[in-house]
Chains A and B, each alone.
Chain A
Amino acid sequence: MATKKHLIVGAGTAGYNAIRTLRQSGSQDQIALVSAEHPYSRMVLPYFLEQGISEGHTATVSLNQLEKWDVELHLGRRAVSLDTQNNKLTLDNGDELEYDDLLIATGSSAVRLNLPGADGEGVHGFWTLADARAVSRLVSPQSHVAMVGAGFISFTILNGVIQRAGQVTIVEVAGRILPRMVDDAGAAVVSRWLEARGVTLRTGAQLKSIEDSGGKKRLSFADGAPLDADLVIMATGISTNLSWLKGSGITINQGIVVDDHLRSNVANVYAAGDIAEGKNRITGAMEVHAIEPTAAEHGRVVGANMAGREVAYPGSLMLNIVGVAGLDIASFGAWDDPDATVIVGRRDATNSYRKYLLRDNRMIGAIYVGESNETWSGNDLGMLKGLVQSGVNLDGWADHLSRNPFDIKRPYLANRVVSSLMPQTTLGQSSPSPR
């Protein structure tokens, strides 16, 4: 029997997990990989900036391993068009690759603000390994770094920037920091923490232009004084790499719309990771979740399905965590549902903030802010994820939580969340060791 040919476009987390799962499932089929970049993890780049790890450590998978897995490599190549009628992918050098099934995992790119000077020298993104190298080379104890954007991406590199720069100013157009990761009250705790550590926050600041001025970069705003910086890092959002699919017949909304097996409207074309618009595990809504754990789960489910198993995906759970100078900030699930019942706990003296969102006595989302010593002395952070993921009915324990918002452990244990979670696996079986 002739073997199938699986074609994977994109060597990021989703693509890599699909390949590994195919091989771990025992598939002897042909696998080909197309990727513009060598395989590495964006998640790891901030730690490269912090100088805790070497550049080689950013790799997710070695070329050696891909060779062992007998993967036909097309690295440094971009896909430029897709013919779903004839199962054919065209690359930027004109090569045509045929497939039996295809995974689109082309990820996303950083988007810069459209304003004068945004593309100038001394203005950097922090999305690719090349970006990370450039920033790492330029930042010094003498530099004043302006971070444009105060979202999750910006915050992942904040530790490295604070450690290595002389002065840091964060510029954000919204009225507060982390607008899409925590609520107002949580953001206020984080702001206070950062300001106490010498970071300048400029929220509600509408950047108009970036010019060269006396060897510095001058940032001008709609209101207020301009800001002079040595280095500008722009982390102002991402967009999906999907423009090459125009005319392919693949249905694209915010991302490629996928069913619960992560298939697009074309049955032998899968999509995974940042470009997939799939089910939200908590709300059931179709959404793009451009986060690492979703990409990994998507990739594994696609790999299993390509290997001939029928694995349905229950949907992805929104999760984010970032630590800044000893303060941990995390959010889970539907943390911003305006119609949920809300329980809030706060201890200002220790910068502890908790918010739980409940519907029908089930936790559907949570926000956590706490100092590292508190966070890692207890089990609460992961238990919040477990409460959201298991969706157990908290019954009268919801009342208990509203009176004792810092007592997560008892509601978690007594509602037998452990029993509820233990049978759960993404692929319907125990996960093998990755190495």
Chain B
Amino acid sequence: MKALQFFPEKCTGCMRCEISCSYAQSGVIQPNRSVIKVAPLEGHTSYAPYTCVQCDEGWCMTACPVDAIVISPAGAKIVMEDQCVGCKLCTIACPYGTMFMDTTSKKAIKCDLCGGAPACAEACPTEAIVWHETEQGDWLGDFAQSRAQYNFTGLVQSQTG
């Protein structure tokens, strides 16, 4: 199965993924409507893209009271917009923070892998976002941890004993 993999050390924070995503998802170039979010780390000297991992449980999908979230042929949990009533339950059921409400349509919105050709991966100029055959993973954990040490004294102390 193909999945989105992130290589945060290659991310330059150019935000092309957010721009492309918002355009693919909402038809507007407006990063705050993007469902991929670039996290600034270490005082804006590092960046890392973050989106839905299409988790096995599908917390959004199993919580939806009207079965408006289904699995697409591309393996994404997707919102059927005409079925969504806008109750927001999926947004607090998802423990990854990757379910959103579209403030214009008042419907839930999430990463649908663009039907199998993710716009974010296509737009990324440094291959920090790659769409290929891989297992899903926690692509940012180690990076975020390593980038935390330098402005987070508590951790340095605990690591050095």
CA distance A156 to B93 in the complex (A): 17
B93 CB to closest chain A CB (Å) equals: 6
Q: Verify if B125 is at the interface (C-beta below 8 Å from A).
A: no
- Nearest residue, chain B, Cβ from A372: B103
Is B39's CB under 8 angstroms from A373's CB? no
Q: Per a CB cutoff under 8 Å, which of B58, B87, B102, B155 touches A395? A: B155
Is B85's CB under 8 angstroms from A422's CB? no
Interface residues of A in 392-435 (CB under 8 A from B): 395-397, 399-400, 409-410, 412-419, 421-426, 429-435
| B78-115 contact mask (Cβ, 8 Å, vs A): 1 or 0 | 00000101111101111111111111001000000000
Which of the listed residues A57, A382, A386, A412 has the most CB atoms from chain B within 10 Å of its own CB?
Answer: A382
Q: Verify if B65 is at the interface (C-beta below 8 Å from A).
A: yes
Is A382's CB under 8 angstroms from B95's CB? yes
Is B106's CB under 8 angstroms from A396's CB? no
A141 CB to closest chain B CB (Å) equals: 21
Interface residues of B in 40-67 (CB under 8 A from A): 41, 48, 50, 53, 55-58, 61-67
Is B85's CB under 8 angstroms from A57's CB? yes
- Nearest residue, chain B, Cβ from A375: B101
Q: Verify if B161 is at the interface (C-beta below 8 Å from A).
A: no
Is B96's CB under 8 angstroms from A416's CB? no
- Nearest residue, chain A, Cβ from B55: A422
Residues of A within 8 A of B65 (CB): 13, 41, 43-44, 60, 292, 296
Residues of B within 8 A of A384 (CB): 97
Q: Verify if A319 is at the interface (C-beta below 8 Å from B).
A: yes
CA distance A375 to B91 in the complex (A): 10
Is A418's CB under 8 angstroms from B61's CB? no
Bin chain B's interface residue count.
35 or more
Known contacts A321-B89, A386-B96, A410-B41; A419/B70 CB under 8 A: no
Please report the number of residue pairs spanning A and B whose Cβ atoms sit closer than 8 angstroms: 177
Residues of B within 8 A of A426 (CB): 57, 62
Residues of A within 8 A of B154 (CB): 395-397, 399-400
Q: Per a CB cutoff under 8 Å, which of A378, A395, A419 touches B138? A: A419
Q: Verify if B29 is at the interface (C-beta below 8 Å from A).
A: no
Residues of A within 8 A of B137 (CB): 422
- Nearest residue, chain B, Cβ from A377: B32
Residues of A within 8 A of B99 (CB): 382
Interface residues of A in 142-185 (CB under 8 A from B): none
Q: Verify if A338 is at the interface (C-beta below 8 Å from B).
A: no
Total interface residues in chain A, CB < 8 Å: 67
- Nearest residue, chain A, Cβ from B57: A425
B85 CB to closest chain A CB (Å) equals: 4
Q: Per a CB cutoff under 8 Å, which of A44, A323, A430, A434 touches B88? A: A323
Q: Per a CB cutoff under 8 Å, which of A416, A419, A424 touches B57? A: A424
Is A43's CB under 8 angstroms from B87's CB? yes
Is B63's CB under 8 angstroms from A47's CB? no
A130 CB to closest chain B CB (Å) equals: 19
Is B55's CB under 8 angstroms from A57's CB? no
Q: Verify if A389 is at the interface (C-beta below 8 Å from B).
A: yes
Q: Which 5 A-B pairs have the closest CB atoms?
A: A396-B154, A379-B97, A386-B95, A382-B97, A413-B144
Q: Footprint of A on B, CB under 8 Å? A: 32, 37, 39, 41, 48, 50, 53, 55-58, 61-67, 69-71, 83, 85-89, 91-103, 106, 136-138, 140-145, 147-148, 152, 154-155, 157-158
Other A-B pairs beyond A296-B62, A321-B89, A378-B97, 14, CB < 8 Å? A44-B66, A53-B85, A57-B66, A320-B92, A376-B101, A379-B50, A379-B97, A384-B97, A396-B158, A414-B144, A414-B148, A426-B57, A433-B70, A433-B71
- 18 residue pairs from A and B, CB less than 8 Å apart: A292-B65, A319-B93, A323-B101, A372-B101, A372-B103, A375-B101, A379-B96, A379-B98, A380-B97, A382-B97, A396-B154, A396-B157, A409-B97, A415-B145, A422-B136, A422-B137, A423-B56, A431-B57
